[in-house]
A and B are shown apart, each in its own frame.
Chain A
């Protein structure tokens, strides 16, 4: 197995004076759109927003759509519990995001770009707008027919789901759409749209700066490059770290744990819970457990019942409510573990609930309902005693 030691990387937040984002843009726009797409595909970059779709392909599909109007959208709705890396990127290096968007716009032929910022990050609006004004001005000076606008969310986790995000931007309830059609065909305003995570866009800028080869050299064959991790919970070093992908969880815990870690929730509330006994053979990356960056550590003082209860409460409230498996399923799971805890239902009821999550996983309309099975099954299976007693 291709394995590497935990390795710090400094790409995202690094500021290369000789290759500022706008210089990267100038350099990149010398290339043809197809060449840029090839470079993206070659780099192996996969989306950092959670779903992990190859970014180059996404751009290619959208480029291939025949439409006067197309859009680039930066998904800055970061709402996954335990994830806070996008905020830091937006705060420190927004120019790299703008550049990634401008490159994408050039590739697909978009004239408008939007950043959808969650309301919880409204304190960033002012400085972002200033920097954006400057960037839009720079685009104008270069006679590039592309501008970026800011849009705010208003407190709804599900609006991070791409089609819900479009609905929200269109002034509607953030209810995810049926797929197909996918955003590359019909996204915002039903036009072909590339929607990428904040971090993904920064990496596209970085790949254009340093070349696919250097990026590819990081990580593993399944998980190219590095990733920004949001580390929280029972850790000696909470914060944001850019690490190479494909690391064994054990190395991670050795560095960040407090010597008493009993579990790590990888990927936030919608991710998987890995118990201590599996630290050794868990790889963080697309070949193992993928993550949008959230790594939450729990030590032995924590009740995993409380953890699961918190997550289920979160999903129950944040489900958009339109589809049956998710709206009612979440309520049943929450009420169900409470009933088992109180002894109103037998422990075997947990098995029924697990089966329910498997239905949610395949029958819910969007990723929110589909992913509730991840925390539920991994916590219930690994910490059954804590759930029951």
Chain B
């Protein structure tokens, strides 16, 4: 078995092999591998004895279950109204410059993927972004860049 298959197998052992275990298993894969590769989805389908199309169909419903390759750190800037009113566009512009990639893209060193997200639930402290699971409210362009630099250092 490959690494991924082994990992999926462990997740299935942990969460069980019923359909109800699908979300926790997919979430487990994404937490480690950042996205669901074809190999991972097939492994999940095999473990749960469901069709691969079903796994894909379920995964693509959920914004956080990516099925295309993502960088080691996934940055999601809130784009909904309150953050919009508080200049999320500036934050995005600063990040695009810093990371040298556009929204939806991954940096060439595969360290970062820059995305936008719908309301993250910090409207009183916008603009806000998530880096992986961690939240960074009350951003300024400068602050956003520093946060990214910090992640960059950490992942060296």
Contacts and interface: CB of A to CB of B under 8 A. Distances in A.
Contacts of B134: 123
A172 B19 contact: yes
A358 interface: no
B19 A170 contact: yes
B20 interface: yes
Interface string A163-180: 000001111111000000
B27 interface: yes
B120 A234 contact: no
A120 interface: yes
A79 B130 CA distance: 15
Interface string B21-33: 1111011001000
Nearest to B26: A154
Contacts of A120: 117, 120-121, 130, 135
Interface stretch (B4-12, B55-63, B142-150): B55-63
A154 B19 contact: no
Interface in A280-326: 294, 296, 298, 302, 306-307, 310-311, 314, 317-318, 320
A285 B84 CA distance: 28
Contacts of B80: 81, 269, 310, 314
A215 interface: no
Contacts of B121: 78-79, 83-84, 86-87, 118, 120-121
B124 A239 contact: yes
Contacts of A80: 119
Contacts of A170: 19-20
Interface stretch (A30-38, A225-233, A333-341, A360-368): A225-233
Contacts of B82: 81-82, 232-233, 296
Contacts of A83: 119, 121, 123
Contacts of A84: 121-124
Interface in B1-58: 18-24, 26-27, 30, 57-58
Contacts of B26: 154
A151 B23 contact: yes
Interface residues of B, number: 36
B100 to A, nearest CB: 26
A306 B84 contact: yes
Interface in B119-137: 119-126, 130, 133-135
B34 to A, nearest CB: 13
Contacts, number: 122
Interface string B85-111: 100000000000000000000000000
A353 B9 CA distance: 51
A307 B81 contact: yes
Contact of A173 (B18, B20, B61, B85): B61
Interface centre among A232, A238, A311 (most CB of B within 10 A): A232
B120 A156 contact: no
B75 interface: no
A157 interface: yes
Interface string A147-159: 0000111111100
A41 interface: no
Contacts of B130: 120
A269 B27 contact: no
A95 B8 CA distance: 33
A80 B82 CA distance: 12
Contacts of B84: 306, 310
B8 to A, nearest CB: 15
A57 interface: no
B119 A171 contact: no
Contact of A231 (B81, B124, B135): B124
A240 B23 contact: no
A238 B63 contact: no
A129 interface: no
A296 B65 contact: no
Contacts of A122: 133
B124 A154 contact: no
A294 B124 CA distance: 11
Given A171-B20, A233-B85, A302-B85, A79 B118 contact: yes
A171 B133 contact: no
7 contacts: A82-B119, A83-B119, A87-B121, A155-B64, A171-B58, A172-B58, A314-B119
Q: Which 8 A-B pairs have the closest CB atoms?
A: A171-B22, A155-B63, A238-B124, A154-B62, A232-B123, A155-B64, A81-B119, A171-B19
Interface of A: 78-84, 86-87, 118-123, 125, 151-157, 168-174, 189, 230-234, 238-240, 269, 294, 296, 298, 302, 306-307, 310-311, 314, 317-318, 320
